[in-house]
Amino acid sequence: MTLLLIGLVLFFAPHLIPMAPARRARMLERLGENRYKIGFSLVTGLGFVLIVWGYMRAPAEPFLYAPWPSARAVAPLALTVAFIFLAAAHTRSHLRAWFKHPMLIGVAIWALVHLLANGELRAVWLFGAFLLYALVDLVSAIQRRAHKTFAPSIAQDALAVAAGLGAALLVMLLHRHLFGVPVVAWGW
């Protein structure tokens, strides 16, 4: 469990820096943009590796609560919506224009459905950390008015929906193979 927790700290600590714009500006001034980005990538990359490794090594028990009975039934739809939001974050779509921060909304949906479907301690740490981060960063981004304005395009909406749907179907297909838990009956 220790590796998982260290990984979460290493992954999220750099992600919290933009919530303090003055601190981020000082770091950029001191390090330069390239060194800042390289450091960010190295620390978060190491954190991600430790999250995966730590989660795999952490015991499945104890169970803190029983999963919500309908969570697994709702998961395919919720995760499809989450993946569409994640894809929309990288487009000039109406979805991005309307919701301003679709990536954070997608991460929150993804984390919440996993929390509802899983009561293991390690899962609560993992998905709880992602949900907490997404909510805190969403509030911060709204307060800082940290969003870009652009002219949205229907073609970009179609791209976001197609990419999100494709990614969701791929994850559902491979979820049992990759994570040991089936999401849909046709997955392997």
Same domain, 99 and 173: yes
85 and 25 share one domain:
no
The two counts, helices (H) then strands (E), for the chain are: 8, 0
Domain span at residue 28? 1-58
In tens, the pLDDT along 29-39 reads 999 999 999 99
> Could you tell me if 168 and 183 lie in one domain?
yes
Q: What's the pLDDT score for residue 146?
A: 85
Domain match, 52 and 82 both: no
Residue pointed to by tokens 């949900």: 131
| Residue 187 pLDDT greater than 90, yes or no | no
At residue 96, what is the residue type?
Answer: R
**Residue 48 and residue 141 in one domain:** no
Distance CA 107, CA 137 (A): 11
Alpha helices (H) in 17-70, listed in sequence order: 21-31, 33-57
- Residues 50, 73: one domain? no
- Give the whole-angstrom CA distance, residue 16 versus residue 160: 26
| pLDDT value of position 25 | 92
The model's confidence at residue 44, banded by pLDDT at 50, 70 and 90, is: very high
Same domain, yes or no: 28 and 95: no
CA-to-CA separations, 90 to 59, 131, 160, 176, in angstroms, rounded: 36, 20, 8, 28
Closest CA to 173 of 152, 159, 158, 187: 187
Residue 65 and residue 103 in one domain: yes
Count of domains forming the chain:
2
- pLDDT by residue (tens digit) across 116-175? 999 999 999 999 999 999 999 999 999 999 888 899 999 999 999 999 999 999 999 999
Question: Which pLDDT tens digit goes with each residue over 138-147?
Answer: 999 999 998 8
Q: Verify that 84 and 50 share a domain, yes or no.
A: no
Do 113 and 169 belong to one domain?
yes
Q: What is the DSSP string of 94-145?
A: HHHHHHS-HHHHHHHHHHHHHHHH--BHHHHHHHHHHHHHHHHHHHHHHHHT
Beta carbons of 93 and 153 less than 8 angstroms apart? yes
Residue ending a domain, choose from 17, 39, 58: 58
pTM summary value: 0.90
Domain boundary among 11, 43, 58: 58
36, 80: one domain: no
Is residue 117 within 8 A of residue 72, CB to CB? The reply is yes
